[in-house]
Structure 1
Amino acid sequence: MTTPATATAIPAATAATAATAVPDESGFIPFLCMIAAHAQSNPQGIAFRVDKRTLDWRTLHERVAQVARALAAGGVGKGDKVAVLGFPSLAYVECLFGIVATRACVVPLPVSASAETLQAMLADCEARLLFLDPACGEAMAQMAARSSVRVVRFGEDGEDGGDYTAWRASGASGAPLLVAQPGDAFNIIYSSGTTGMPKGIVHLHGMRQRQAQRNGFGFSMHSRTLLSTPMYSNTTITPMIGTLANGGECILMRKFDAGRYLGLAAALRATHTMLVPVQYKRLLAHPDFDGSDLSAFELSQSTGAPMDAAMKREILARWPGRFLEVYGMTEGGVSCFLDARAHPGKLGTVGTPVHGTEVFLIDEAGNKLPPGVDAEGRERIGEVVGRSPFMMAGYHKRPDATAEIRWYDEQGRMHHRTGDIGRFDEDGFLTLLDRSKDVIISGGNNIYAADIEAVLSRHADVQDCAVIGVPSAEWGESPLALVVARPGARIDAVALRDWVNAQVGKTQRLLAVEVRDELPRSHLGKLSKKELRAPYWQKAGAA
């Protein structure tokens, strides 16, 4: 890999392009150059696997280049937005990297969104073209037709009955490809807002390349990373590009299924994975778990939602390899890791700030809180704020929202506000207490749900729980617990309330406990307390 870093175009031949995978003065390497380098050094090695289909590095490079040339032939270029709506597939991978290889910006759309929301996203990002997986169904096809965006149907070769393969071959085979620059927009990821239009999070090529090449995950050309979250999620994209940068193999599941996941992990000797807590819960509860050979795992990560300490302990006891809890935002800026096996006494925390990341707390007035305890010896509590090399460029066409998330220090350095309330212990480990908008204010006292939820989760009969604030004529708000029983267990709501109240402070005592069949969670396991609170406050408003 010795071609000068000043190269501005990638030649047509696969072997020739591989040499461009050297960093420029800033350390930047475009993703197409990384793929080209692996195509030369390991042409028959598997880059991606979906079901029984595979893409070796040589074929991946050829097809990504084809997609880029076909896009360019259709007038798509630097800064243009190209959307992708579909389930994980080899064609999805080709489209994703083909889009960014032509200096356009990929917009991975959530298959879980409504047709109306998706149509609004297409209009918001001003997509020039939409790659659509026929497996999304007729409603999505009709939505795409209404959007007036040009549509290319894609899927697995030979099965989709669409026009993707012919379209991919439509570009001039010898046309040179421009090299992406660090300041180019890599993607727009729409946040999973519960109300209103989700915000589009813009990441640049330089930021994504830094993510792909950072240390600490042990990726290598021998890695086999098993991913089962959606392609439009940062939970998938981040470990995927890390594996790709190091020449490893990515194993993508079209849809998560606990039994199939365990079978794939054992048969393919998966070494790495990224899962959300609800997936770990389903895997640990699956009857095949203890009989599955997971001994090849080197690193398993969890992100997307808080994980309780009891589940972390169970993972350490039953799942081989390192377990890393990752706390952060798709917007970037704040990043903490908990290497659970190395710190078994800190399982109630989300770890410490990652090397190169600055994380601290601010008070309600926006002032930075000093580390340590206050004058009365109590750990300081505030909103979590931070900065890192992995930060978004901003929200797409939302300067108001971009300004709202940013916080500047005395030197004028920009940080991101998380909206999370937390506290650091004496060893620098961060404990999350609540979302700032979810803090319960009862009789003038701030009550943090996490403290009460930690007690609830210790009860043998509680499988899932959430504590919210509900209207109180006497106190303004009072904490209410919503719980789900473990299979086979029967919860006495009054007895559980009294059990919790005997262990918490006077101001934290529960008004009541309600037993639910389930708590509504997103595909990434996130719980919307705003949604849970709404019926209680609507009822109070109507009274």
Structure 2
Amino acid sequence: MLNYVEFFDKGVALCPDRTFLVDGDVRMTFAETARLTHRIAAGLLAAGVGPDDPVATMAPNTAAGYTCQWGIIRSGAPWLPVNVRNGIEENLEVLQRMRARFLFFDSSLTDEACRILAEVPTLRAAVCIDAAAAGCPALESWLPPDDGSTGTYHERGPRDVVSIPTTSGTSGRVKGVQLSNASFAAGIANYLALMPYDVAPVTLAVAPLTHGAGYFAGTTIPLGGAIVMHRDTDPGSVLAAIGEHRITTLFVPPTLLYGMLAHPRVREHDYSSLRYVISGAAPLSETRLREAIEVFGPVFCQNYSQTEAPVTVAFMTPRQHVEALADPASEGRLRSVGTEAPFARFAIMDDDGALLGPGERGEIVVRGELVMNGYFEDPEQTAAVSAHGWHHTGDVGVVDDDGYLYVVDRKKDMIISGGFNVYPGEVEQVIWSHPGVLDCAVVGAPDEKWGERVVAVVEAEEGVEIDAAALRRSLRERLGGVKAPKEVLLWERLPRSGNGKVLKREIRRRFWQGLDRSI
């Protein structure tokens, strides 16, 4: 099995002189990028960074920041990605809890870097990737001379840790997810088996490359895939960039996709280069999915995975979407996330560890090389999610007779109202279909009569006014008295994470604040 960096080197060997990274006016070929990664790796070893010393990157989507990521991986040290869209307090917790030893940061984050240097005691040194800042050298002055050698770095095997992304899940506590060479190799194998290319891939990097978007971008590198950095999340600029750069591959979280579809000029751009538009990170509105296929063509994919089992567990290909749309008997599959990826296994399990059959609802569990080694220095949590020989996702799902997986909700998000189980995802699908709704979240709020009452918090499209009372009546007609929200609230903006996920726990906390119970 190849180590992750060897997939990068395949791209270098295939087309050394092809442009690999595009960042504004900056163009870097595969060969140029590879040389820089060797110098970064050599610099880390000269600085005393060992194979168990996490090295962090904290930068927006830039060519220099992405190159540092590969330099860290090449050195054999674990790469610790830091999401710049998170708040400084959360990123401080990430760096402290994971005991970061070295930091590469962008000068736009100098204030944050100053705090990190002062408050993360394990840090040995830091380098600013684009200019001297915060008392730290610029990358160019820190790098050892380019002597043309490839260097000797820390030896790493298939199950050695390559990266430690972090996740808070439903608990709110940061956990370090230890991903191995085998995890990434399985992810690349799944992706390329499911998404073949008839042209050289070009990925538009809009979502942070430190997270899911980076995993997907990395899978095209062995094919000589180029990556275009795009720091602007304005939907209109994303739409224009597709045609300008002849983008083949775009990973978008649902929130950005909804904004793109709602843009007044969405049908005026050229999308003929697109091969795959991938949605992941959160459930997708079936109504918007249909619209996306109409606008962008038969290129839409849905992906199911999580940080602990990255890239692809289940996948809905463009062909499967087209087939579901063409056959009324199969259109319900549009609500699924597809079928099992070639190099992964999923199943549905009850609370006692028994595997369930088609149509039975339970927790989604996963097996395969892609699953993490465990949580960083957290054997208790690792054991909890590894019970019965499967990785437990915390998601509730069901599999139909044809093997299509449907994600119903997060296990801990389930609302028990009047003794009945209500899954917010089912209610949200109906709300998303209402005209003018950009996004929504359904949570349980305390109620003396029902124990929990179903509450919908709705964000309208820009310039649209929604009648909350009329929406509530419509939902009651469609969902019945148990599932329909007892209350519909209109918020200007829903709280979101740096990855664009709606933070349900933040919404829920507002209703339960000050109480001695949370269920």
Normalising by structure 1, we get a TM-score of 0.86
Runs of 4+ in 1 over 6 A off after TM superposition: 157-161
Give the alignment of 1:531-542 within 5 angstroms: 531-538=506-513
**Cα contact 2:459–2:491 (8 A) shared by 1:** yes
Task: Write the letter of the residue equivalent to 1:272.
Answer: T
Compared with structure 1, are the counterparts of its residues 239 and 424 closer, same or farther at alpha carbon in structure 2 (3 Å cutoff)?
same
> What is the aligned partner in structure 2 of residue 236 from structure 1?
213
The alpha carbon displacement at 1:64 in A equals 0.8
1:206-236: CA deviations, max 9, x gaps? Answer: 2212322442222577111111111221x12
> What is the aligned partner in structure 2 of residue 23 from structure 1?
none
Task: Write the letter of the residue equivalent to 1:188.
Answer: I
Q: 1:337 aligns with which of 315, 329, 333?
A: 315
> What is the aligned partner in structure 1 of residue 354 from structure 2?
367
The alpha carbon displacement at 1:190 in A equals 1.0
Task: Write the letter of the residue equivalent to 1:183.
Answer: R
Compared with structure 1, are the counterparts of its residues 151 and 253 closer, same or farther at alpha carbon in structure 2 (3 Å cutoff)?
farther
> What is the aligned partner in structure 2 of residue 527 from structure 1?
502
CA distance in 1, matches of 2:174, 2:133: 33
Shifted more, 294-303 versus 181-190: the winner is: 181-190
Question: Aligned pair 1:283/2:263, yes or no?
Answer: no
> What is the aligned partner in structure 2 of residue 316 from structure 1?
293
The alpha carbon displacement at 1:520 in A equals 1.5
Question: Aligned pair 1:143/2:124, yes or no?
Answer: no
> What is the aligned partner in structure 1 of residue 341 from structure 2?
354
Counting matched residue pairs gives 502
> What is the aligned partner in structure 2 of residue 511 from structure 1?
486
The alpha carbon displacement at 1:157 in A equals 7.7
Q: 1:200 aligns with which of 176, 179, 186?
A: 176
Q: 2:372 aligns with which of 389, 392, 397?
A: 392
Question: Aligned pair 1:307/2:288, yes or no?
Answer: no
Question: Aligned pair 1:224/2:198, yes or no?
Answer: no
The alpha carbon displacement at 1:127 in A equals 2.4
CA distance in 1, matches of 2:216, 2:151: 29
The alpha carbon displacement at 1:468 in A equals 1.6
Q: CA RMSD in A?
A: 2.6
- Larger proportion of helix: 2
> In structure 1, the residue corresponding to 2:258 is in which secondary structure?
helix
**Cα contact 1:134–1:153 (8 A) shared by 2:** no
> In structure 1, the residue corresponding to 2:129 is in which secondary structure?
coil
CA distance in 2, matches of 1:247, 1:399: 39
Unaligned runs of 5+ in 2: 326-330
Q: 1:444 aligns with which of 419, 422, 434?
A: 419
Give the alignment of 1:109-120 within 5 angstroms: 109-120=82-93
CA distance in 2, matches of 1:272, 1:362: 34
> In structure 2, the residue corresponding to 1:293 is in which secondary structure?
coil
Higher relative contact order (CA 8 A, sep 6+): 2
CA distance in 1, matches of 2:299, 2:177: 30
Task: Write the letter of the residue equivalent to 1:229.
Answer: A
Which of 1 and 2 has greater Rg?
Answer: 1
Compared with structure 1, are the counterparts of its residues 507 and 364 closer, same or farther at alpha carbon in structure 2 (3 Å cutoff)?
farther
CA distance in 2, matches of 1:491, 1:38: 50
**Cα contact 1:227–1:252 (8 A) shared by 2:** yes
Q: 1:479 aligns with which of 454, 460, 484?
A: 454
1:400-419: CA deviations, max 9, x gaps? Answer: 111111132xxxxx211111
Compared with structure 1, are the counterparts of its residues 426 and 63 closer, same or farther at alpha carbon in structure 2 (3 Å cutoff)?
same
> In structure 2, the residue corresponding to 1:136 is in which secondary structure?
helix
CA distance in 2, matches of 1:74, 1:50: 28
The alpha carbon displacement at 1:326 in A equals 0.4
CA distance in 1, matches of 2:63, 2:131: 9
The alpha carbon displacement at 1:123 in A equals 2.8
CA distance in 1, matches of 2:9, 2:349: 45
**Cα contact 2:166–2:177 (8 A) shared by 1:** yes
Normalising by structure 2, we get a TM-score of 0.89
> What is the aligned partner in structure 1 of residue 328 from structure 2?
none
**Cα contact 1:297–1:321 (8 A) shared by 2:** no
The alpha carbon displacement at 1:303 in A equals 0.7
Compared with structure 1, are the counterparts of its residues 258 and 454 closer, same or farther at alpha carbon in structure 2 (3 Å cutoff)?
closer
Compared with structure 1, are the counterparts of its residues 156 and 287 closer, same or farther at alpha carbon in structure 2 (3 Å cutoff)?
farther
